[in-house]
Structure 1
Amino acid sequence: MRRRTFAASIGAAAVAATAVPAAAHAKTSGRCDDAYAWRNAVVNGGGYVPGIVFNETQADLIYARTDIGGLYRWQEPTQTWKPLLDWIGWDNWGWTGVVAVATDPVEPQRVYAAVGTYTNDWDPSPGAVLYSDDYGDTWGAAELPFKQGGNMPGRGMGERLAVDPADNAVVYLGTPNGNGLWKSSDYGRTWAEVTSFPNPGNFVQDPSGDYSDDNQGVIWIDFDQDGRIFVGVADPDDPLYVSADQGATWQPVPGATVIGSVDGNRVIPKQASFDHENGHLFIVTSWDPGPYNGGPTSGKGGAIWRLALATGEWTDVTPTQNPVGTIPGFGGLTVDRQRPGTLMAATQNNWYPDEIIFRSTDSGATWETSWEYAWDADFSWPPERTDRFTMDASGSEWLSFGSVDDGPAYAIKHGWMIDALAIDPHNSDRIMWGTGATIWGTEQLTAWDDQGALVGWDDAAGHQVALPVDPFTVAVRVEGLEETAVQDIAALGGTLVSAMGDLGGFVQNDLEEAGVQIRRPNWSSGRSVDFAALNPDIVVGSGDVDGDADGHVGVSTDRGATWLTTSRLAGVAGGANGGTVAVSADGAVIIWSPGDGATAPVYSTDLGQTWTTVAGLPAGARVRADRTSPNRLYAFAAGTFYASTDAGLTFADTGATGLPTEGDVDFRSVPGKQKQLWLVGGKADATYGMWRSTDGGRIWKRVRDFEEADAVGFGKGHGRRGYPAIYASAKAGGKRGIWRSTDEGRTWSRINDDAHQWAWTGKAISGDPEVYGRVYIATNGRGLIYGDITD
């Protein structure tokens, strides 16, 4: 692929969203007078939150950035988060990966986001800096001549964006892969490289892969009160630079090379924070940019350093005591602006039994931990664990991931991948931290300082004992932030079943509650779901599984309330092989197509306890059931459409022609209509679009309204003939959107608007069988969106 080049200074793109979109209901034909309200089916979080940023001058102004799900702003009255980037459309889907955020301390209404999801070829588009003058309600965009990695290794470092408090028209951006330090002097509208900055970084943690081989580059920018600008660089030999003349010239900070190694491991300065009152700059380092890896094979994985700004003296203030011995490395760092000398830091990926959060009230001279072991005289395992706070997961009980407390390893953890750690600069009692799944927070933080030590020595017993502590409460603070990547949807009517990346899936009878997480089989990611149309108590799903205990397919006979695992299919390993699953209309036969690309689909007539190879289908074929005839099932692979009339035991080519032979293709059977099918998919610059068959897949007619289509589904109908409403994520007249037809596809109306696009929506879509107009949309990072007619 030819690399796109730009001039050194890039002009701002057109405003990407407006407060009131101009055309809310574009249509291919016909008339649509329905207005829609959009909301999330509640899960609460579900993905990685690598950054939480408080505005330093305006209280309660807080932003949370996600790696694939956009940017959010805190709403203090409701204690919820508001999504700010739902206007991002299909073509710029990568802009939902937010690698950095900066909130202006001088004019707090100004906010900036550095966006771009991947630096490799997974994301074909360049990155951008988004700018807003109204707290993120509307945005403009300035494209950049390089990519940014909101979902790449190192995405929790930073922040890579910073507003100069001495001149808030000036904004700096640190970039990866040799692109250096960039600067805007017009509130983010245009950008140019700071050519005087001498070091673009050189640290590559793992050069062997297409994902792990990023040069982490320029990591963070921060400002001293005297006007000096400090910049952290991913170069263990030269990790820190300073400018005392508004960025005209730059020099290495004297003595900073000392922070580039620890116990023989080369490390980089991941985050920094100023204690202006005491004249200190604190820096956490780690051998790995994060967020996945644990500690190195030998020695320490990171350190905490303190720079005395007046004298240039460096002091290693790494905690010397902790319950696990060797710290794997550090993630988050924060300083209390109201209490000079108070700072906190978090380990990153101390997988067992939990992360450790450290707190110091004396500028790092001494530290206390969030939990400790109390060992008996014989050092028996497991030791007693004692904690400073309790974890309240109300509303997000799924955070146990199906586990139970096991000695010191609690089911509900402090977290993992903790890079976002922030004390409210206006309120010493409030802290928030992000994990790989949620945001935790408390408004009782200073209670920590009254607790004293967690463990002590009992002379009589001759061993440690847990000391009495009055714990405070840490609770979920992620409501409104939905970050799941939805893979498939089954709307049963009153019950919604979803398959989700990383979380397995959920069964929801109330869209305002997360519902039951599908944990058996122990899916690391759910891939597909289906139900028996004539017996909807039978629900099936497939997903990626780890280990050897569970099969990839799960079965429920009570509408998803409980789940049974199935037999593991010989030859299909664990990991990302979930594939797709279907169940016949009466629930008697399950067809599973493994995702390994080598194993032909199999069927089961005993709820997955035994499997038999289907005759006539190639590996990787996608299978769907007819929604009215138990004997009829269908399949598609590489341009060929297949049908079965013996309940899925054998399939034969229908002889259909003209269907896509490349790209991702899906098809769905129409509820209540035998032999009626709709197919979508294909590949740009090849066959791509939507087709309809009314004879079981022998003859297909192209739906000419759409030049591209990727997902199709059905809901309660509105017409006199009883045909279901049809919903599609598609492109018509050059416009991507969510489209609806109430007349069997003769006319289509776009039912979303430019403020509600949710980037990429091509995985799955479904209407509701009982609520006319309701549509469910799978997004890649903004959760499961649903819309209702508001009229």
Structure 2
Amino acid sequence: MRRRTFTTSLGAAAVAASALPAPVLAKPGPQGGDAYSWKNVVVNCGGFVPGIVFNETEPNLIYARTDVAGAFRWQEETRTWKPLTDWVSRDKWGYQYVVSMASDPVETDRVYAAVGAYTISWDGNNGAVLYSDDRGETWGVAELPFKQGGNMPGRGMGERLAVNPADNAELYLGAPSGNGLWRSKDYGRTWAKVESFPNPGNFVVDPDNEYLSDNQGVIWIDFDQIGGKIYVGVADPADPLYVSEDGGATWQAVPGAAEALGNADGNRTIPKQSAVDNTNGYLYVITSWDPGPYNGGPASGRGGRIQRLSTQTGEWTDITPPYNPGRPVPGFGAVTVDRQNPGTLMASTCNNWGPDEILFRSTDSGATWSLSWDLVSENVRTDRFVMDSTDSPWLDWRGTDNGASYAVKHGWMIEGLAIDPHNSDRIMWGTGATIWGTESLTQWDTQGELIGENEAGERVALPVDRFTVGVRAEGIEMTWVRDLAALGGTLVSAMGDVNGFVHTDLGRAERMFHGGWGGQSLDYAASDPDVIVGSGDVHSDTAGHVTVSTDRGQTWQDATRPAGVQNGSGGTVAITADAKVIVWSPNNTDKTPFYSTDRGQTWQSVQGLPAGARVRSDRVDASVVYAYSGGKFFRSNDAGKTFADTGATGLPAEGVDDFRVAPGNKGHVWLCGRSDKAEVATGLWRSKDGGTTWTRIAAVDLAIGVGFGKAASRRGYPAIYISADVEGQEGIFRSIDCGTTWIRINDDAHQWGFAGSAITGDPNIYGRVYLTARGIVYGDIA
């Protein structure tokens, strides 16, 4: 995900809450403004859902946490999720990265979220615990004196945040980075370190890689309601589990835990998740050699275990499923118990990459297990359920079934797996792309075996009455949107993780237009918007980075790849106003930009541009293409073949994520500048002469993205939309007078953290704006 660094500081061991409920009324913009209504362009998730939390005492009260898009609450009447953290402002952007959630089982209106983006230098902010007394409609904030990592390795472990069911004013929080165990005794308002807890963890994935170098710390907290014990899992293979029998006053290492949880088959493993059966008196713990979510499967024979601890006797029993089709025993991702049927539990693999993830189910406390699918032969498998991706047709990734490897999979990165404590038939699980679920789960137990033998002793598939698993992600939107092109009736998006989409119906999930292509940049021909070009990252040595459509995105043809361009070099792409020339500037390479006069079938090197320059075409003059690099602005007057520095001065040398060209106005270029460095100029610049001279827009202090839409009047200048700071206020702004005046069009309930790195208006609908936020958000004048 794109990131921005801010700095704060807190140092007290006990930190007080700041009462900052999510506002519902807009602050007025610098010039006042129209009221806007906001919706998502529907993709249905498109990112990682590491946690699904059912309230244990109130039916249908369910929360989902995402790694980059905030928290959500289930709405049973519509079977959709409601976003709860769109109020997060840009300076607190990390609050949309949710580490853990806890739903109060006693006072069920109370809910909590531990938040924070990164525990390393990428993020200058500390984490926080958000608390709500109205199911997430409004929130208070308890800031913490350490960072939390909602988008760090290990974010699917936990839950790190837990409410004590015996005293619901008391919460526990497991911290990363050696910060230990923390506790609140006043419903999450203030927090203090549990000084008596002896082990802050020590497990590091890779000390030589900054992203993987953090101590995973204290992982989860669970409560034995039979004996009143509190269990805490720690990322320390030599000492992975602790227990308190006196309400958290003192803590002891659990005997036998190191052998059971920390050293599976001679490999160092850690206890990723736990689940308690408070009827039979069991604590179930899954382990893996990697905290996930990217690794965790059987690497070099390394895997994990499922261990069962009798909370009354202290006896450990290894209940690891004995069979993983064609692979070593995997690392596990999640574990859940059926509270309506004690003794029934399920677990998932984590990144069992081929041919699919596996869900395991036991109805006898782990003594025996059945699998969600099994191999009949190398290329034939039999399944307990059908995966129905109708509501998210893109989940086939534009692939087809290939033997035992299906295009639509159980998923990957399965670490959020939960059986409804009130309904044994309902289960949901999060993946790296969606949430799957069913309300027919117990049919599994009547199906019997999947594989048998015929008279010749050969493995054969047995008949199974399969149930259906479908998408349960509606309302969650979290795609990594890198660019947008609004053509009027058609919206095209380039996305980093899920490639890209062509939407003709904003309220329906479409099939992605490209597979295996991490979209970066889009452009269309001003005189013929049916002609669209896109650039993206590819991970094949032969695949082209540029793709072209001549029928408004219905079909696409990949361009060839110039010699020497490496993988992952999507960069930016432009097409001249007459659709005759494509200019492509790859990134992550020392190759200078290229141009093509045959829609990418052959390429020639551009003259006069440095490698990695950003390129855009003029919207009127087909001979003009623009470029920016390192504070210099370039122009081509021969359709992108050669470029020259315009000699412009005063532009920022860094912090320019993009510049855009106004439609219908020859030579009108707008450039955004943002930076965290005080010595670097920030703001919004405008040129009316093709980039030779520039005027800084005085009211704009910092600009992230700029785009254009239909003018307010027949002969007016295109409406300009920016994500910016205007006169000291951050937000989404619109100008209809060429940037002379601005109005803020979003409100404090709709801020979406760091939003608007790509933003554009609609060419046919005045006032409509599309922007990158939590996925793609669009707004209309209410």
Same fold (TM over 0.5): yes
Residue 704 of structure 1 and its aligned partner are, at CA, apart by: 0.5
Comparing 190-199 with 691-700, greater Cα deviation is found at 691-700
Structure 1 residue 621: Cα displacement: 1.0
- 1:395 deviation in Å? 1.8
Q: Who is 1:548 aligned against? A: 541
Alignment deviations for residues 15-74 of structure 1 (CA, whole Å, 9 cap, x no partner): 1412x2252x312x3x52x21110100000100000000000110000110111111000
Could you tell me how far apart the structure 1 residues matched to 2:689 and 2:135 are?
Answer: 54
CA separation of 1:597 and 1:547: change in aligned 2, threshold 3 A: closer
Q: CA deviation at 1:330?
A: 0.2
Aligned residue in 2 for 1:501: 496
Secondary structure in 2 matching 1:624: strand
The equivalent residue for 2:690 is 696
Deviations 1:112-164 (CA, angstroms, capped at 9, x unpaired) = 10111111111111111111110001011111111111111100000000001
Given candidates 699, 714, 720, the residue that maps to 2:708 is 714
Pairwise CA distance, 1:296 = 4.9
Corresponding position: 1:10 with 2:11: no
1:50 aligns with 2:44: no
Conservation of the 8 A alpha-carbon contact between 2:373 and 2:381: yes
Would you say 1:647 and 2:639 are equivalent positions?
A: yes
Q: Which residue of 2 aligns with 1:311?
A: 313
- Give the conservation status (yes or no) of the 8 Å contact 1:16–1:88: no
Aligned equivalent of 1:285: 287
Greater mean deviation of Cα atoms: 296-305 or 62-71: 296-305
Residues 544-553 or 487-496, more deviating: 544-553
Match 2:440 to one of 441, 444, 463: 444
User: Following the alignment from structure 2 to structure 1, what is the Cα–Cα distance between the partners of residues 531 and 713?
Assistant: 29
CA drift of 1:721 comes to 2.8
Letter of the structure 2 residue corresponding to residue 406 of structure 1: N
Given that 1:264 and 1:299 are in contact with CA atoms closer than 8 Å, whether structure 2 keeps it comes out as: no
Partner AA of 2:479 in structure 1: T
Q: How does 1:728-739 map to 2 (within 5 A)?
A: 728-739=722-733
CA distance 1:22–1:713, shift in 2 (3 Å): closer
TM-score scaled by structure 2?
Answer: 0.97
- Name the stretch that deviates more: 289-298 or 35-44: 289-298
Q: Distance in 2 between matches of 1:446 and 1:516?
A: 32
Q: 1:425-574 maps to which residues of 2 (within 5 A)?
A: 425-458=421-454, 460-519=455-514, 522-523=516-517, 525-574=518-567
**CA 1:762/1:462 → structure 2, altered by over 3 Å: closer, same or farther?**
same
Mapped to 1, the partners of 2:660 and 2:198 lie a distance apart of 57
Partner SS, residue 333 of structure 1: strand
Q: Show the counterpart of 2:87.
A: 87
Paired AA for residue 550 in structure 1: A
Asked whether the equivalents of residues 726 and 740 of structure 1 are also in contact (C-alpha less than 8 Å), the reply is yes
Q: 1:56-109 CA distances to partner (integer Å, 9 max, x unpaired)?
A: 011000011011111100000000001110000111111111010000001011
Q: Tell me, in whole angstroms, the C-alpha distance in 1 between the residues paired with 2:21 and 2:692.
A: 44
**1:327–1:347: 8 Å Cα contact kept in structure 2?**
no
CA separation of 1:298 and 1:617: change in aligned 2, threshold 3 A: closer
Are residues 3 and 363 of structure 1, via their aligned partners in 2, closer, same or farther at CA, if it must alter by over 3 Å?
same
Cα offset, 1:354, TM superposition: 0.3
Which residue in the other structure is 2:61 paired with?
A: 61
Is 1:182–2:174 an aligned residue pair?
no
Which residue of 2 is the match for residue 258 of structure 1?
A: 259
CA contact (8 A) 2:297 2:353 kept: no
Distance 1:473 1:297, change over 3 A: closer
Checking the alignment, whether the CA contact within 8 Å between 1:96 and 1:759 is kept in structure 2 is yes
CA contact (8 A) 1:719 1:743 kept: no
1:378 equivalent in structure 2? none
Cα distance in structure 1, aligned partners of 2:243 and 2:531: 64
Task: Flag the 1:540–1:762 CA change in 2: closer, same or farther, 3 A.
Answer: same
Report whether the alignment pairs 1:661 with 2:656.
no
State the distance in 2 between where 1:52 and 1:585 align: 48
Matched, 1:397 2:398: no
Q: How does 1:366-445 map to 2 (within 5 A)?
A: 366-375=368-377, 381-382=378-379, 384-445=380-441
Deviation at 1:295, TM superposition (A): 3.5
TM-score (norm 1): 0.96
Contact kept in structure 1, 2:485 and 2:760, CA below 8 Å: yes
Q: Deviations over 1:672-726 (max 9, x none)?
A: 1111111111423120000111111111111001110110000001135331100
Structure 1 CA distance, aligned partners of 2:403 and 2:656?
Answer: 46
Pairwise mapping of residues 93-172 of structure 1 onto structure 2 (< 5 A)? 93-172=93-172
Q: What secondary structure is seen at the aligned counterpart in 1 of 2:409?
A: coil
Q: Please say if 1:743 is aligned against 2:737.
A: yes
Note closer, same or farther for the CA distance 1:344–1:179 as it changes in structure 2 (3 Å cut). Answer: same
Deviation at 1:466, TM superposition (A): 0.6
Alignment partners' CA distance in 2, 1:678 and 1:738:
16
Please point out which of 582, 588, 592 is paired with 1:590: 582
Sequence identity (%)? 64
* Aligned residue number for residue 596 of structure 2: 604
Listed one character per residue, the Cα deviations across residues 503-548 of structure 1 (whole Å, up to 9, x for unaligned) are 111111110122241225x30x210111001111110000000112
Partner residue in 2 for 1:26: 29
Q: For the structure 1 residues 628 and 219, does the alpha-carbon distance in structure 2 shift closer, same or farther, using more than 3 Å as the test?
A: same
State how far apart, in whole Å, the 2-side matches of 1:360 and 1:3 are: 48
Contact 1:714–1:726 under 8 Å retained in 2: yes
Instruction: Specify the SS of the correspondent of 1:93.
Output: helix
Distance 1:294 1:234, change over 3 A: closer
Deviation at 1:778, TM superposition (A): 1.0
Contact 2:103 2:110 in 1 (8 A): yes
Rounded to whole Å, the distance in 2 between the matches of 1:518 and 1:2 is 39
TM-fit CA distance, 1:321? 2.3
Question: Aligned partners of 1:748, 1:508: CA distance in 2, in Å?
Answer: 29
SS state of the match for residue 231, structure 1? strand
Counterpart position of 1:723: 717
Greater shift in the superposed pair: 500-509 or 439-448:
500-509
| Structure 2 counterpart SS, 1:155 | coil
Deviation at residue 734 of structure 1 after TM alignment: 1.9
Find the aligned partners of 2:297 and 2:496 in 1 and give their Cα distance: 26
Distance in 1 (alpha carbons) for counterparts of 2:52 and 2:299: 31
Q: Distance in 1 between matches of 2:419 and 2:495?
A: 32
Cα distance, 1:136–1:3 mapped onto 2, change above 3 Å: closer
The structure 1 residue matched to 2:629, chosen from 615, 631, 637, is 637
The offset of 1:298, in angstroms, is 4.0
SS of residue in 1 equivalent to 2:342: coil
Relative distance call for 1:109 and 1:408 in structure 2 (3 A) is same
Partner of 2:572: 580
Structure 1 segments unaligned to the other structure (5+ residues): 376-380
After superposition, what is the alpha-carbon deviation per residue over 1:527-571, rounded to whole angstroms, capped at 9, x for unaligned?
A: 011100111111000000011231111111111111111111211
Deviations 1:607-644 (A, max 9, x none): 01111111111111111111111111111111111111
Aligned length: 773
Question: Is the contact made by 1:616 and 1:650 (CA closer than 8 Å) also made in structure 2?
Answer: yes
Conserved in 2, the CA contact under 8 Å of 1:583 and 1:590?
yes
Q: 1:160-200: per-residue Cα shift (whole Å, max 9, x none)?
A: 00001111111100011100000111111111100000000
Q: CA deviation at 1:294?
A: 4.5
Give secondary structure in 2 for the equivalent of 1:538: strand
Whole-Å Cα distance in 2 between the matches of residues 167 and 337 of structure 1?
21
Q: Which residue of 1 aligns with 2:749?
A: 755
Match of 2:3 in 1: none
Shift of 1:300: 4.3
Give unmatched runs, 5+ long, in structure 2. 1-5
In structure 2, the partner of 1:623 is 615
Conserved? CA contact 1:262–1:299, under 8 Å: no
Moved more, 724-733 or 6-15: 6-15
Instruction: Give the secondary-structure state (helix, strand or coil) at the position aligned to 1:284.
Output: strand
Name the Cα RMSD after superposition.
Answer: 1.3
Residue 762 (structure 1) shift:
4.1
Deviation of the 1:335 alpha carbon: 0.1
